[in-house]
Every structure is written in structure tokens, then in C-alpha cells.
Amino acid sequence: MKGGILYCLCISLVFIAACSSPKELFTTKEIEENNRFSEIDQHFLKDNLVHFLDYRAYKDSFINAAQRDSTANIGLIADRLTFTMYNNENEMYFGNDRDKCIIHYTSFSKYQKTEPAMIDLFSKKKSNGPERQTETRLIEARAKGTIQYPAFEKGITFYFDNHTGYLLINRDSFVLKPIYRGKSGPFQTVIGVQLVKENIVYGVVHSFTGLLKKKIFLYTKATADEQLLTAAYFAVIARYL
């Protein structure tokens, strides 16, 4: 009984903590006081098209797609670990009623599925505790590509690698950095990412939201083109955060 109550309490605390934006989310007053935000809506069971603020993906088509599975062990006396790797090439049409762009990108993602062992030699199952469940989590993700936007002659290039990366708009470099909660060590948690140029934060994604949807924040003093391109970059990488 106590185990079940403790489990429910932990879930409730995670949910409550996610309802408000943590203080670490805004690393500068400028973005905290000058932003527009919304939840990131992605219909995984429908069309998988991302939507937030006044932006949306009109189409996100596979050009090439490959999947590979591997199993670390059979799961007899140790947890069964299965890894699934995806290599995809996509083309996304993204924007709003005023402006649109085309994003061509490739991506790699690796998921780990953990299933409880069939025989547990090290612990006795407690009848009043919750049963261990199968868990699947993303353990590695990368993406790179080019955004074609009529306002710029050359394509806008971008890169993403596990909460870090960049967006290159002409000669301007926007750097993607992780946002942490807690001090360094095992208790430090990545709660999101921020896109920064010359100490000015142009966009933030709050990804550590518990049971709630991820949130996106855009810098309202940025130009309309900068906001669109930041949104386009986030539209590609949000699923991996």
C-alpha cells in the first residue's frame, strides 16, 4: 500500500512541477520579458505534423527511411535491452499564412527498450508494490539540413546533436545550448534548450514538462524572418528533446 501511495505522490509532484515554467528556463531577463509562447502540439497518432504559435508543418514527407533493431540480451535473468535505430531523410513544408519555407533534413535516432527480466534473482517481488513496466526512451538523436526561404538567396543550414547544435542565417551563427536544472552531478537535469546569438536568446524549448506538452518561447524583438527560421529549426528538433 505504501509503495503505491509513494508512486502516486511522485507522479503528482512531477505533474505539479511541470505546470509552471522553472526559473532556470530564462537565462536572461530580455527573453523572459519579451517572448510569445505556446505548447508544441504534435499529433503522433494522426499525421505527426507539428503545430505551435501561428506556425505549422503543412507536410513532412519521408524521402528515405531505414530502421534497424538489435538486442543486447535475451532477458532471462537480466533486463532485456532492445535498441531501435532510425535513419530518415525528410522534406517539411513549414510556416504560417504570411510566410513559408521548405526544410530538407536527415536525422538519426536511437531508442532503448527495457523489459523486466523473466527471472529476478536479486529481489523478492513485493505484493503491495507497483510492478515494473516496459520502458522505451530516446538515448541518441542527430539531425542536419537546409531551410529554403525566399527572403534569402542561399539555404539556411542547421545541425542538432543531443541538445546542442547551431542555425546559420547568412553570416550569423545561432548556437543551441542545453538548459539545466540543479547543480552539476547526478541530480542535474536538462529541462530544455535555448538558441543564442551574441548573448541574446532568440528561442527556448521547455522539454522537461512531465505529463504536459513541451512549450516553445520566441523572442518578440527578433525580426519576423528570424522568428520563422527559429521556429522552423525547433519544428525539426522538438521531437528529439
pLDDT digits 0-9 by tens, 88-145: 999 999 999 999 999 999 999 999 888 777 666 555 555 555 667 788 889 999 999 9
Question: What cell was used for 5?
Answer: 501511495
Pairing of strands 215-219, 200-206: antiparallel
For position 8, what pLDDT does the model report?
42
Asked if the model's pLDDT at residue 10 lies above 50, the reply is no
- Map residue 240 onto helix, strand or coil: helix
Q: Which residue has the higher pLDDT, 44 or 221?
A: 221
Q: Around Cβ 114, how many Cβ atoms within 10 Å?
A: 16
- Map residue 230 onto helix, strand or coil: helix
pLDDT one-digit tens code per residue, 65-90: 999 988 877 656 677 788 999 999 99
For position 12, what pLDDT does the model report?
42
Instruction: Give the bridge partners for 141, in sequence order.
Output: 109
Q: Distance (Å, rounded) from C-alpha 98 to C-alpha 149?
A: 12
Q: How far is CA 142 from CA 25, 34, 218, 228, in A?
A: 23, 30, 23, 21
Question: What cell was used for 39?
Answer: 505548447
For the chain, the average pLDDT equals 85
For position 20, what pLDDT does the model report?
59
First to last CA, the chain: 35
Rounded to two decimals, the pTM is 0.84
Q: Which residue has the higher pLDDT, 152 or 22?
A: 152
Instruction: Give the bridge partners for 101, in sequence order.
Output: 94
CB hemisphere CA count around 14 (13 angstroms): 12
Q: Distance (Å, rounded) from C-alpha 14 to C-alpha 236?
A: 26
pLDDT one-digit tens code per residue, 186-211: 778 999 999 999 999 999 999 998 88
Alpha helices of the chain — where are they, by DSSP H? 2-18, 29-33, 224-237
For position 123, what pLDDT does the model report?
57
Name the band, by pLDDT with cuts 50, 70 and 90, for residue 183: confident
For position 199, what pLDDT does the model report?
93
Nearest to 105 by CA among 174, 162, 160: 160
